[in-house]
Amino acid sequence: MKKRQTTSLINTQIIRSQKCGGYGAYIQSPPHQQQGEFMLQIASEEKPRFMIGDNGTMYFYYDQESKEWFMHWDCF
């Protein structure tokens, strides 16, 4: 009986998914003059067939001074 060889691979890709708080996982460069603080992101998902543009992501920001929400999106 032959032994199976296994190879471990290190995944160096940025994983884009739904996220709350922290820093957004941007596809393109982050917006340079975006108002507000990053709050959450919603990414395209293949399984439920939810697409934002060409496999993109929406990023939501909240400005505490003006009490307004802002949205930015980018895609491949």
- Banded pLDDT at 12 (limits 50, 70, 90): very low
Burial of 73 (0-12, 13-18, 19+ CB in 10 A): middle
What pTM was estimated for this model as a whole? Answer: 0.73
pLDDT in tens, 52-76: 988 899 999 999 999 999 999 999 8
φ and ψ at residue 68, rounded to 5 degrees: -120, 150
Count of other CB atoms within 10 angstroms of residue 42: 17
How many residues does the structure list for the chain?
Answer: 76
In this structure, what token pair is assigned to residue 13?
């890709």
